[in-house]
Amino acid sequence: MNFHIRAATKQDCKDVVRMIMELALFEKMSDQVKISREELERDGFCQNPAFGCLIAEVPEENKSKEGLTTVGYALYFSTYSTWKGRSMDLEDLYVMPEFRGFGIGKSLLSAVAKVTKEEACARLQLGVLDWNTPSRDFYAARGAQDLTVSEGWHLIRFDGANLDNLANDASKI
């Protein structure tokens, strides 16, 4: 299967939103998706973009049964480690089911790793769900460490009313 990895443009946001939803459905959390195409366009394609995005594209002759040629994406952004300095987070890596097994996911991951090195980031981090064995195996086979297993890191979140309450407490100080 021929495919091509390239930087996303504003025009890709429609396809990226479609694939964000496909990935969330696979992760059984599609009810959490609130993003819109307009927000992605605004946040990723401006003066100081909040993220970078790579697209996997197949030629017209290999299009999906729905007629789609944009078949995968990787979305990432730079973060900071107080131990190592500049770092990179891979928010999403996705390939449409009928295009798996051709090395597209590996190429997207490698391309993000290349950006990570080019931007002088010491590491590339991502989150994966416990039951998502194919993904966990995919990353482990390429040498990734599972820090939740090896060091015991937990992901903690404030949002909604909890975040509002915390922020309101600050106003009272």
- Indicate whether 173 belongs to the interface with a second copy (CB under 8 A): yes
- The end-to-end CA distance of the chain, in Å, is 60
Other C-beta atoms lying within 10 Å of the C-beta of residue 72: 24
Query: In angstroms, what is the minimal distance from the CB of 60 to a second copy?
Result: 21
- Indicate whether 32 belongs to the interface with a second copy (CB under 8 A): yes
Tell me how far CA of residue 7 lies from CA of 45, 72, 78, 131, 137, in angstroms. Answer: 11, 12, 16, 30, 26
CB 35 within 8 A of CB 17: yes
- Indicate whether 20 belongs to the interface with a second copy (CB under 8 A): yes
Other C-beta atoms lying within 10 Å of the C-beta of residue 74: 26
24 or 68: whose CB is closer to a second copy?
Answer: 24
How many residues at the interface with a second copy, by CB under 8 A? 77
- Indicate whether 139 belongs to the interface with a second copy (CB under 8 A): yes
- Indicate whether 133 belongs to the interface with a second copy (CB under 8 A): no
User: Where does 45-103 have alpha helices with state H?
Assistant: none
Of 9, 10, 122, 133, which lies in the binding site for a second copy, with binding defined by CB under 8 A?
Answer: 122
Of 60, 61, 66, 159, which lies in the binding site for a second copy, with binding defined by CB under 8 A?
Answer: 159
If phi > 0 it is left, if psi is from -120 to 50 it is alpha, else beta; for residue 120 that is left
Which residues inside 81-120 make contact with a second copy, applying CB under 8 A?
81-86, 89, 91-92, 106-107, 109-111, 113-114, 116-117
- Indicate whether 170 belongs to the interface with a second copy (CB under 8 A): yes
34 or 65: whose CB is closer to a second copy?
Answer: 34
- Indicate whether 60 belongs to the interface with a second copy (CB under 8 A): no
**DSSP category for residue 28:** T
Other C-beta atoms lying within 10 Å of the C-beta of residue 47: 4
**Quick check: is 80 catalytic?**
no
Active site residues: 139
